[in-house]
């Protein structure tokens, strides 16, 4: 037997192409969501500092 691989093998190579899409509406919705989280966080922090902590 030869050490070389047989040449009659049928090898199918699956190629996948990745296209990076930037959907501007998805980016805007994500930005609005996280901006709302930050606003709520700072609003809660302001409430705690302004009204809750002075009562102690």
Residue range 27-46, pLDDT digits in tens: 999 999 999 999 999 999 99
Q: Which residues of 26-46 are buried (b: 16+ CB within 10 A; e: fewer)?
A: eeeeeeeeeeeeeeeeeeeee
Pick the residue with more confidence: 39 or 13? 39
In Å, what is the CA distance from 27 to each residue of 21, 32, 34, 36, 46?
11, 9, 11, 14, 28
3: pLDDT strictly greater than 70: no
Domain boundaries, the chain: 26-55
Measure CA of the first residue to CA of the last residue in the chain; give whole Å. Answer: 89
As a whole number, the mean pLDDT across the chain is 85
Rounded to an integer, the average pLDDT of 39-55 is 94
């Amino acid at each position: 037997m030869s050490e070389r691989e047989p040449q009659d093998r049928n090898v199918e190579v699956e190629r996948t192409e990745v296209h990076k899409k930037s959907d501007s509406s998805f980016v805007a919705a994500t930005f609005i969501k996280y901006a709302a989280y930050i606003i709520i966080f700072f609003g809660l922090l302001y409430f705690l500092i302004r009204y809750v902590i002075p009562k102690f």
